[in-house]
Amino acid sequence: MLDSITTSPISPPTEGSGRRVALLTLGCARNEVDSEELAARLAGDGWSITTDGEDADVVLVNTCGFVEKAKRDSIETLLAASSTGAKVVAAGCMAERYGKELAESLPEADAVLGFDDYPSIAATLDKVLQGEKFTSHTPRDRRELLPLTPVARQASGASVPGHATLLNDSATPAHLRGVLRHRLDSSPVASLKLASGCDRRCSFCAIPAFRGAFVSRTPDELLAEAEWLAGTGVRELVLVSENSTSYGKDLGDPRALEKLLPQLAAIAGIVRVRVSYLQPAETRPGLVETIATTPGIAAYFDLSFQHSSEAVLRRMRRFGSTDRFLELLASARAFAPQLGARSNFIVGFPGETAADVKELERFLTEARLDAVGVFDYSDEDGTEAAGMDRKVGARTIKGRYEKLLSLSEELCAQRAEERLGSTVDVLVDTIGDGVEGRAEHQAPEVDGSTTLVTGDDGVDLGALHPGDLVRARVVGTNGVDLVAVPVEMLSAAANGR
């Protein structure tokens, strides 16, 4: 049962002392990076690491606490883990967000750990295995752990998941500190965490309260980790954070991301760098041009629009409008007409009217997005929106959600059909019953994929390996997915030859 809900691919256990921990990761790519930090800490103390929940001494679940469905998935995973007879430990966002409350309502968990417990995770799991009981933390607003002024945050010393190195000494060059990360799969794609936390105050979002204020990782740390990932066979880097467009503001350089991207793309072995989680209000013209025109950087814009009605956006404590968002997309397409663009939207937000929904429909129709996520609004603990008036009824929300979802699927399928006959650069992900990969406009997990098939000319499918980058001609579509014939090898993965 656990295998069906494990989000990380199964990998064999590492060598260890016989203590075996299964790391199950739920939620976003940022959580996946945090899990690989936890795995490194545990492996360094002699634990055998696996992502298979069977036959483990301890099952460590890195939970998600973003929305109600994610919280339910986390609870179900913890309950399923308890049925194996292993010790069960909850970590991650849900554990940090609810602490004692989660521990009291879920006695099946032997421990509920917060982010401050990560540095001592190996010793903690040893104690759990020995039957010791733990009193979980009382949650607090983690924004209070960092200075209010962004540029003062680098020296704060607060525990921030995904930011640690083997030697936490800022005086030592990053490439000499060692990377505190243990890969949990052999995929040619890996996430690289730019930063953690968020300084925005979106009225629907609780993430800043339990993830903390925004803090960047330094460029030298990121370059060192990127080189390490390339050495493990990674070919595509996906840059993740809560808000990538804020990167560098606490380093005193608002153009830090524009400068970093070409350096990442120049790392030997890396053929594609993808930026995710862009905030439209902070997406500067220089960053648009860098993403759209730099060789090795995917011309891909993951823009967090959330809605397009100006009235709804104001109640969300966000900025923009249909026309401003269309202008932003047009400015990017002026550099790269075939770029990829995706976004997420919330329907049924308090105060949303039928006219607001029509405005969102207008935006979706004109935006020509490659992938769209639609979420039905629900109150989140501790958010401003939970206390707002003019709530939209559940039946109305359901109807709007289904309508917008259907429209989005139709529009994204049409966008995929526009690519028929064009060429796309495909990174091969898996070789199995067929050859699957992703074009430049397709991010891992969320944006569809490209199936490579044999054609009259071009590359032999049997010679392909995960990590190969090939140019392919699009010959078919299935919703957002493409079917393409590889016509040229652009870059062969070193470990495939």
Q: pLDDT averaged over the chain?
A: 90
Query: 340-362: per-residue pLDDT in tens?
Result: 999 999 999 999 999 999 999 99
- Each residue's pLDDT tens digit, 45-99: 999 999 887 789 999 999 987 767 777 888 888 888 888 888 999 999 989 999 9
Find the domain containing 195 and state its range: 151-418
What CATH number has the domain bearing residue 73?
A: 3.40.50.12160
Amino acid present at 406? S
Q: With beta carbons less than 8 A apart as the criterion, state whether 68 and 3 touch.
A: no
Q: Which CATH number covers residue 460?
A: 2.40.50.140
Distances in whole angstroms, Cα of residue 478 to Cα of each of 372, 397, 433, 442, 474: 16, 28, 18, 14, 12
SS3 474: strand
205 is in an annotated binding site: yes
pLDDT in tens, 114-146: 999 999 999 999 999 999 988 899 999 999 888
Last residue of a domain, one of 136, 162, 189: 136
Residues 349 and 265 in one domain: yes
Same domain flag for 245 and 309:
yes
Same structural domain for residues 307 and 396? yes
DSSP 368-404: --SEEEEEE----TT-SGGG-SSPPPHHHHHHHHHHH
What is the token pair recorded at 57? 């001494």
Give the pLDDT band of residue 497 (cuts 50, 70, 90).
Answer: very low
Same domain, 409 and 451: no
Same domain, 187 and 204: yes
Say if residue 409 is in the same domain as residue 438. no
Residues 400 and 370 in one domain: yes
Looking at the fold, whether 93 and 212 belong to one and the same domain comes out as no
Same domain, 28 and 101: yes
Residue type, 22: A
Residues 6+ apart with CB under 8 A from 367: 325, 326, 329, 341, 343
Domain boundary among 103, 136, 169: 136
Residues 209, 320 share a domain: yes
Judged against a pLDDT cut of 60, whether residue 15 lies above it is answered with: no
The answer to whether the annotation marks 64 as part of a ligand binding site is yes
Q: Is residue 210 part of a domain?
A: yes
pLDDT in tens, 315-345: 999 999 999 999 999 999 999 999 999 999 9
Say whether 412 counts as a known binding-site residue.
Answer: no
pLDDT at 171: 64
Look at the chain and report how many structural domains it folds into.
Answer: 3
pLDDT classification of 457: cutoffs 50, 70, 90: confident
